[in-house]
C-alpha cells in the first residue's frame, strides 16, 4: 500500500511503501505518476534496490537520456550518472557542475520529462537539491506579463548562463560534445505533454536569447523571469536520507544543487545516481491499448 504525505515546503510529496527491489506493476506506477504530475516532486523513501532495478524503474517513466558529457556516464551503465563529490576517474570534474538553476536537457530539442536522483551517500550537512515549482511561478505572473510572453520562443545552449548571480559555472563541453548539442529553441511558456498545464520553461541555465528580440532586451527579460521564479516561496530544498529517490517533473521545475566541498572524513560524502528520461511512460500506452 503506497502512502503519500506532503513534504515540508511549498510543493511535493513523499511516498512510503514502495519497494523498487521487488518491482512496480502498472497500477503502482500509475499511482506514482499521478502523484508526480499533480505535485511535480515525489520522494520515494527507503529504497534498497541496485542499479538494474533502479534502471528498470527509470525506464518505466520514459527513455533514459545518455548525458552529453559522455565521460560522466557510469561505466557499464551509460544511462546512469554518478552525481556528488566522491572522486572517481569518470566524474572528477562533476562535483559542482549542477550548482546553478537549470532544467535538465533543456539544451536538447526533445526535452526531458522526468529526472530522478537516488541517494547512496549523504553528508551530515548540506548536499540538498533545491527544486522550484515553475507552474506556481507562472500562475503568479500578472496578466500583462503572461500576455506579453505568450508565444515567445527562447534559445538555449548547454550551460549558457550558468555562473551568473553567485551561482557556479557548469563544465565546459569539449568540441566533440558541443557538436552534438547545437542551440535549440523552446517556447518560453510550455504546455506539459501529459497534463497540458502551462508553466515557464527553463528560464535559467540554458536560455540566452529570445527569437526576434534584441540581445539586451532578451537578457533583461530572462533575468527578470528567473529572479521571479527563484523566490523562496516557490522553492523546496530536499535534504536526502540514504535510500531516497527524488523524482521531479522536469517540464514544470528547475533545480539547483547545493555546492559541495571535496569529502573530508566521515559524513562529508555525497553520492547520488541520476537518471533523466524523455517521452511518456509505457504504461500509458498499455492502458490506452487496453481501453
Ligand atoms: Fe540537473
Residue 65 · residue 278 · CB < 8 Å: yes
What domain range is 110 assigned to?
Answer: 3-290
Identify the H or E element spanning 231.
none
Q: Which residues surround ligand 1, an ion (CB under 5 A)?
A: 98, 104
What CATH number does the domain containing 184 carry? Answer: 3.60.130.10
Q: How far is the CA of 236 from the centre of ligand 1 (A)?
A: 15
* Closest among 219, 215, 238, 239 to 227, alpha carbons compared: 219
What's the pLDDT score for residue 150?
Answer: 94
Q: Which of 28-32, 240-244, 255-259 has the lowest mean pLDDT?
A: 255-259
Burial 238-249 (b: 16+ CB within 10 A, else e): bebeeebbbbbb
What's the pLDDT score for residue 238?
Answer: 98
Please list the helix, strand and coil fractions of the chain in percent, rounded to the nearest 5, in that order.
Answer: 25, 25, 45
Neighbours of 201 (CB within 10 A): 25
Percent of residues, the chain, with pLDDT higher than 70:
97
Q: How far is the CA of 233 from the centre of ligand 1 (A)?
A: 21
What is the average pLDDT across 76-85? 91
Give the total residue count for the chain.
291
Mean pLDDT score across all residues of the chain: 93
The tens digit of pLDDT for each residue in 279-291 reads 999 898 888 888 7
The tens digit of pLDDT for each residue in 82-125 reads 888 886 654 555 667 888 899 999 999 999 999 999 999 999 99
What's the pLDDT score for residue 94?
Answer: 64
Per the structure, the count of domains in the chain is 1
Q: How far is the CA of 255 from the centre of ligand 1 (A)?
A: 6
Model confidence at 126: pLDDT above 70 = yes
What's the pLDDT score for residue 8?
Answer: 95
The tens digit of pLDDT for each residue in 135-192 reads 999 999 999 999 999 999 999 999 888 888 888 888 788 899 989 999 999 999 999 9
Q: How far is the CA of 290 from the centre of ligand 1 (A)?
A: 35
What's the pLDDT score for residue 93?
Answer: 53
Task: Please give the Cα distance from 130 to 195 (Å, whole number).
Answer: 23
Task: Please give the Cα distance from 181 to 44 (Å, whole number).
Answer: 32
Q: How far is the CA of 291 from the centre of ligand 1 (A)?
A: 36
Residue 80 · residue 46 · CB < 8 Å: no
What's the pLDDT score for residue 248?
Answer: 98
What's the pLDDT score for residue 13?
Answer: 98
Q: How far is the CA of 288 from the centre of ligand 1 (A)?
A: 31
What's the pLDDT score for residue 88?
Answer: 61
Neighbours of 269 (CB within 10 A): 20
For residue 101 the three cell numbers come to: 538553476
* Closest among 124, 84, 81, 121 to 242, alpha carbons compared: 121
Q: How far is the CA of 265 from the centre of ligand 1 (A)?
A: 26
The pTM of this model reads 0.94
Q: How confident is the model at residue 73 (pLDDT cuts 50, 70, 90)?
A: confident
Enumerate residues 6+ apart whose C-beta is below 8 A from 88.
Answer: 82
Q: How confident is the model at residue 20 (pLDDT cuts 50, 70, 90)?
A: very high
Amino acid at each position: 500500500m503506497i502512502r503519500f504525505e506532503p513534504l515540508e515546503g511549498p510543493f511535493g510529496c513523499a511516498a512510503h511503501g514502495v519497494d523498487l527491489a521487488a518491482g512496480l506493476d502498472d497500477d503502482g506506477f500509475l499511482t506514482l505518476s499521478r502523484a508526480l504530475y499533480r505535485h511535480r516532486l515525489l520522494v520515494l523513501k527507503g529504497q534498497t534496490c541496485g542499479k538494474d532495478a533502479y534502471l528498470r524503474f527509470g525506464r518505466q517513466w520514459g527513455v533514459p537520456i545518455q548525458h552529453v558529457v559522455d565521460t560522466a556516464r557510469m561505466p557499464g551503465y551509460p544511462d546512469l550518472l554518478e552525481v556528488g563529490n566522491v572522486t572517481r576517474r569518470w566524474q572528477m570534474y562533476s562535483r559542482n557542475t549542477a550548482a546553478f538553476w537549470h532544467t535538465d536537457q533543456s539544451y536538447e530539442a526533445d526535452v526531458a520529462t522526468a529526472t530522478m536522483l537516488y541517494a547512496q551517500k549523504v553528508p551530515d550537512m548540506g548536499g540538498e537539491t533545491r527544486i522550484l515549482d515553475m507552474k506556481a511561478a507562472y500562475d503568479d505572473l500578472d496578466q500583462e506579463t503572461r500576455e506579453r510572453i505568450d508565444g515567445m520562443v527562447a534559445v538555449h545552449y548547454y550551460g549558457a548562463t550558468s555562473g551568473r548571480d553567485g551561482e557556479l559555472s557548469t563544465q565546459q563541453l569539449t568540441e566533440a560534445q558541443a557538436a552534438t548539442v547545437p542551440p535549440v529553441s523552446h517556447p518560453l511558456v510550455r504546455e506539459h505533454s501529459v497534463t497540458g498545464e502551462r508553466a515557464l520553461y527553463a528560464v535559467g541555465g540554458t536560455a540566452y536569447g529570445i527569437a526576434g528580440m534584441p540581445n539586451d532586451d532578451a537578457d533583461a527579460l530572462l533575468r527578470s523571469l528567473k529572479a521571479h521564479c527563484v523566490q523562496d516561496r516557490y522553492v523546496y530544498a530536499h535534504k536526502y536520507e540514504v535510500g531516497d529517490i527524488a523524482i521531479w517533473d522536469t517540464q514544470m521545475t528547475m533545480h539547483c544543487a547545493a555546492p559541495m566541498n571535496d569529502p573530508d572524513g566521515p559524513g562529508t560524502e555525497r553520492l547520488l545516481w541520476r537518471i533523466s528520461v524523455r517521452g511518456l511512460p509505457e504504461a500509458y500506452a498499455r492502458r490506452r491499448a487496453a481501453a
